[in-house]
Structure 1
Amino acid sequence: MQRTGCLLIDVASPVVRQSKLNDLLCIRMILKATLDTVLLRINAISRVLAAMLLCVSCEKPQPKQLTPAFYFWQTTFRLAPNERKLLHRLAVQKLYIRFFDVDWDPATQGPQPKAVIRFAEMPNGLSLVPVVFITNQTLIRCPASAIPTLAENIERKIRLLRRENRISINEIQLDCDWSASSRSNYFRLLREIKKRFSGTLSATIRLHQIKYPDQTGIPPVDRGMLMVYNMADWKRPATRNSIYDLEVAGRYLGSLNAYKLPLDVVLPLFRWTVVYRSNRFLTFLNNVDASKLRVIPALKPVAENRFEAQRDTTVFGFSVRRGDLFRAESVQPADLEQGRAVLLSKIPNQKLTFALYHLDSTVTSPYSDAFLHSLFRPGP
């Protein structure tokens, strides 16, 4: 019995039990309706998410936006008519031009500019990027206290050449294969040049510097130019192709997408033959490939891209001895296409300069316009 006010109610009576049962049934119906609503909303959200995922999986990655360019690596700037026509046909307006080298001068015991470019004609209609090559020994021998002066001298020399030849520039590039012993001076040099130049500062990057950034460091510049050539030891007779070898490149590109610097790319077009005597490097023969070696009677093919001198003679202007080994190296179009696809799939930045090394009619002649144009297309 339960007292309510002045009344006594029997909670066990049938009326009370029926009321409680009705309440429970009502609550159950409300819970079921709520659960049904939640399930419907979950199903709807799931369908939306599935549709979104399907769209994402079907969406193709946006092609990279490539700015075509060539390197020009001669001491006199003068474009042959066919070279200028090639630039026009390929719609190339950007040239990376070696302005001068910086090397250690024993006489003055200091860094000096070497092989300064001479402009025999004006680079009308072209966008130029001055490139300064600096030797590793210069950075090792140069005292740290002299680095700001070196930066000032480099920037002043570029400014002088620019004014003399009425050249407008928006970027400067330094080319150096720095080492652990030169890294500190080189990175300081880059920072000092950046203080003096308001445009883009870029630096060349080798493959080993991509693979081992913790050991080599990442240069303090705006962009890096990844040099995808000269990737194997040309001094070793056993090397297959020192200019360009996709198998060798693959050992270094695994972490390319994690490199902490926006990257541009340069691929090689040049060819040469490396000559060895008694298993030691003797000389380079530029622009000499296997086709030119095959027609020399004194040279016998002994393996893929290798020839051996059968007697003492003279070829290409130098004396050859019996037993000298000639290794012809060139870059096949299919290998360039394959390397391009790998690089563009791994480089994370959407916009980049895609350059070829280098602009010279004797270098570019083996490649068709259609093929060169295909390298510059938006990719991958």
Structure 2
Amino acid sequence: MKNILLLGLLSLFFFSCEKEHKITHVERAFYYWKSNNWSMAQAEDSVLTKHNIKKLYVKFFEVDHSDAMGNFPISKTELYFYKQDSMNIVPTVYIKNSVFIKTTKGSLDTLADNVNFLIDKYSKEKFRNQSMPIEYQMDCDWTLKSKDNYFYFLKKLKEISKKQISCTLRLYPYKYPDKMGIPPVDKVMLMCYNLLNPLQNHSKNSILDLNELESYLNVDTNYPKHLDVALPIYSWMQVYQNEQFSNVIYTNNQKAKTILKEIKPLWYSVTKDTVINETYLRIDDKVKFEEIDAQKIKQTIQLLKKYINFDNNTTVSLFHLDEQQLSNYSHEELSSFYSDFSK
């Protein structure tokens, strides 16, 4: 009898260890990462309405650095917003890591002031019939060398802007917070994609590899900041001409595959000369086609629920809102990417 009782308690223990961490309330969001667009495509706007999306992380601009020009903004979005006040727009700025490598506290003070000024300026220009944003998000792949300067900048931006400040969090600093530091922000967005170097891992999907993802999520302690989550719904073609990497193309998967012949997993050969998104493809050019189907995203959600103890109210954001990429999923699949977190 004692042995049976012991086995029962052990079974209960292991069952509880495998219990999934659900999210009580999922705030549905998208990233919008395009430049030079005056308005959203009809399909993009339809997705926001159909899936009751109330939050958009919009890349306002990027910050680059050169010795000649110092820090300067690039890739400013031209999108104008005519949504109602119910849509929460989060201005997002991508800052290259090089900005924080060789700098001074004075330059970082100036950078924080300039970023705040530009976000405020563009917000007043772009938000028609909308309230001003309450949150800014910074996106930077910080390293050990840039960590201290980046964290100083984040503190300064918070002080100047008086806004909520969030930042993106890659999986490496998520797994090694003692080494990579904890960013001084109100919350972080865990980016569950771009796990591998696409030019060095020819046999794996660099956007999202489940084994790689699980190796980063399997940690002993909870991350000491509120965690939101971003999932990839994009695919890309890495084009190789004369055995050399040429460029990346984002396009409609099904249309692209009509001129491709599979030669091995992930790899295709071009079967006829054609032009896709201003890129000329020749017969026998090689293409590494990395795509993310609905099943892989659902498996990703299960891993996240297994390893992360989410707060009751958590934002789940899909990257990103793009007409061609959205065509790869049904409305039911897109909805499940949010609802599966609560099941």
Whether TM exceeds 0.5 here: the answer is yes
CA distance in 1, matches of 2:220, 2:249: 33
Give the conservation status (yes or no) of the 8 Å contact 2:80–2:126.
no
Change (3 A) 1:324 1:223: same
The equivalent of 2:51 in structure 1 is 90
Tell me how many residue pairs correspond in the alignment.
Answer: 322
Deviation at residue 137 of structure 1 after TM alignment: 0.8
Change (3 A) 1:222 1:77: farther
The equivalent of 2:3 in structure 1 is none
CA distance in 2, matches of 1:134, 1:181: 15
Say if 2:232 is the partner of 1:268. yes
Change (3 A) 1:288 1:106: farther
TM-score w.r.t. the length of structure 2 is: 0.85
Give the conservation status (yes or no) of the 8 Å contact 1:68–1:354.
yes
- Determine which structure has greater relative contact order: mean sequence separation of CA pairs < 8 Å that are 6+ residues apart, divided by chain length: 2
CA distance in 2, matches of 1:338, 1:61: 14
Say if 2:194 is the partner of 1:230. yes
List per-residue Cα deviations over 1:237-264 (Å, max 9, x = no partner): 6242111111111111112852111110
The equivalent of 1:281 in structure 2 is 245
CA distance in 2, matches of 1:249, 1:241: 11
CA distance in 2, matches of 1:105, 1:375: 40
Deviation at residue 62 of structure 1 after TM alignment: 6.1
Q: SS of the counterpart of 1:258?
A: coil
The equivalent of 1:64 in structure 2 is 24
Equivalent residues in 2 for 1:312-331 (5 A)? 313-316=273-276, 317-320=278-281, 324-331=285-292
List per-residue Cα deviations over 1:129-161 (Å, max 9, x = no partner): 000100011111332331111111111111111
Change (3 A) 1:162 1:280: same
The equivalent of 1:42 in structure 2 is none
Deviation at residue 162 of structure 1 after TM alignment: 1.7
CA distance in 2, matches of 1:314, 1:164: 40
Which protein has the larger Cα radius of gyration, Structure 1 or Structure 2? Answer: 1
TM-score w.r.t. the length of structure 1 is: 0.77
1:333 paired residue among 289, 294, 297 = 294
Change (3 A) 1:292 1:304: farther
List per-residue Cα deviations over 1:51-72 (Å, max 9, x = no partner): xx99xx7x99764321000001
Say if 2:206 is the partner of 1:246. no
CA distance in 1, matches of 2:96, 2:20: 44
Q: SS of the counterpart of 1:356?
A: strand
The equivalent of 1:117 in structure 2 is 77
Change (3 A) 1:292 1:81: closer
Give the conservation status (yes or no) of the 8 Å contact 1:231–1:243.
yes
Deviation at residue 214 of structure 1 after TM alignment: 1.9
CA distance in 2, matches of 1:279, 1:216: 37
Give the conservation status (yes or no) of the 8 Å contact 1:237–1:279.
no
| Paired residue type of 1:147 | L
Say if 2:134 is the partner of 1:174. no
Change (3 A) 1:354 1:77: farther
Q: SS of the counterpart of 1:273?
A: strand
| Paired residue type of 2:182 | I
Equivalent residues in 2 for 1:1-380 (5 A)? 63-75=23-35, 76-108=37-69, 110-124=70-84, 125-166=86-127, 167-236=131-200, 238-255=202-219, 258-277=222-241, 279-289=243-253, 291-296=254-259, 299-309=260-270, 313-316=273-276, 317-320=278-281, 324-348=285-309, 349-377=311-339, 378-380=341-343
Query: Gapped runs of 5+ residues in structure 1?
Result: 1-49
